[in-house]
Amino acid sequence: MMSRNLFYLFFLACSGSLSAAELEGSWIEGGLLIGQAEPGSTILFKDEMVMLSAQGLFVIGLHRDENEPVRLQIESPDGSIETQVFEVAQREYNIQSIEGIAQNIMEPSAEDQDHIWSDYVMTSEARKIRSDFEAFLTDFDWPVRGPISGVYGSQRVYNGVPGTPHYGLDIAVPSGTAVVAPAAGQIIMVNDNMFYSGGTIMLDHGHGVSSSFLHLSKTLVEVGDWVEQGDLIAEVGATGRVTGPHLDWRMSWGNSRVDPELLLRASGAWDKD
């Protein structure tokens, strides 16, 4: 499924230029940019320090809603500082209004709230990990192939109250379908019973870039395992709060949710059979 709007934005979004670093990628909501600076530089993005490899590589992720221009500052080892502000291309998301939802469906019980909280703590801890490998440089490939049933950024508004946006790419395939690693990395979280997402795996691609795989029927890896691109990690399921079997693949850079579709388009995998 091709989003005309998204495709258009690809042409509009430009990388801008800095003399202290080279950047590859687009300043677009949900995008990931790879930078190359002089080794030993200090990088600040939105006033927060960004991890830099010994070779001077870094990565920046843009969230769903980057309504303000973003600031990137690079301090070179000689002490010179360069700052640039970038406009982020705004995307239009699919917003759906749903009226007449019963209130008791929307309010989880006290016990469920504890479950939701412990899931939140577990995923937040995993998102803090900053590993110094660069598997995110790989050309990303599909974790499973099938019809797209949900895209990044879409949102439902229940009785006028906006729900949490959907950050994943949903691929509708039967339970038991093999899920493979879309790029190499280290398994940083495995949980067979999360409240919303059921069987869930988080795969670290380095520098805070991670993939999450939700609603799995079977997890086939353990925390600490290193996997290569294409390695079997799980089976698709319908666990957690879902209406049917599918894989929900999400990607993050720290707490910023990036769009897997953009990575598949950049690698060319999106249009490949």
Residues that bind Zn ion (CB under 5 A): 150, 168, 170, 248
**Residues facing 19 on adjacent strands:** none
Q: How far is the CB of 248 from Zn ion (least distance, A)?
A: 3
Q: How far is the CB of 54 from Zn ion (least distance, A)?
A: 37
Toward Zn ion, which CB reaches closer, 134 or 170?
Answer: 170
CB 200 within 8 A of CB 194: yes
Toward Zn ion, which CB reaches closer, 143 or 168?
Answer: 168
Q: Among candidates 166, 168, 182, which has minimal Cα distance to 229?
A: 182
Q: How far is the CB of 91 from Zn ion (least distance, A)?
A: 18
Q: How far is the CB of 214 from Zn ion (least distance, A)?
A: 7
CA dihedral 125→127→133→134, nearest 10 degrees, is 180
The residue type at 24: E
Toward Zn ion, which CB reaches closer, 61 or 168?
Answer: 168
The residue type at 162: P
Q: How far is the CB of 61 from Zn ion (least distance, A)?
A: 19
Q: Among candidates 108, 64, 124, which has minimal Cα distance to 196?
A: 108
Residue nearest to Zn ion (CB): 248
Can you tell me the distance from the alpha carbon of 144 to that of 142, in angstroms, rounded to the nearest whole number? 5
Q: How far is the CB of 83 from Zn ion (least distance, A)?
A: 38
**Residues facing 162 on adjacent strands:** 157
Coil vs helix vs strand at 13: coil
Toward Zn ion, which CB reaches closer, 66 or 170?
Answer: 170
Toward Zn ion, which CB reaches closer, 66 or 248?
Answer: 248
Toward Zn ion, which CB reaches closer, 67 or 164?
Answer: 164
Q: Among candidates 236, 130, 116, which has minimal Cα distance to 188?
A: 130
Toward Zn ion, which CB reaches closer, 74 or 247?
Answer: 247
152, HSE (Cβ side, Cα atoms, 13 Å):
24
Can you tell me the distance from the alpha carbon of 69 to that of 88, in angstroms, rounded to the nearest whole number? 6
What burial class does residue 41 get, using C-beta atoms within 10 Å of its C-beta: 0-12 exposed, 13-18 middle, 19+ buried? buried
Q: How far is the CB of 150 from Zn ion (least distance, A)?
A: 5
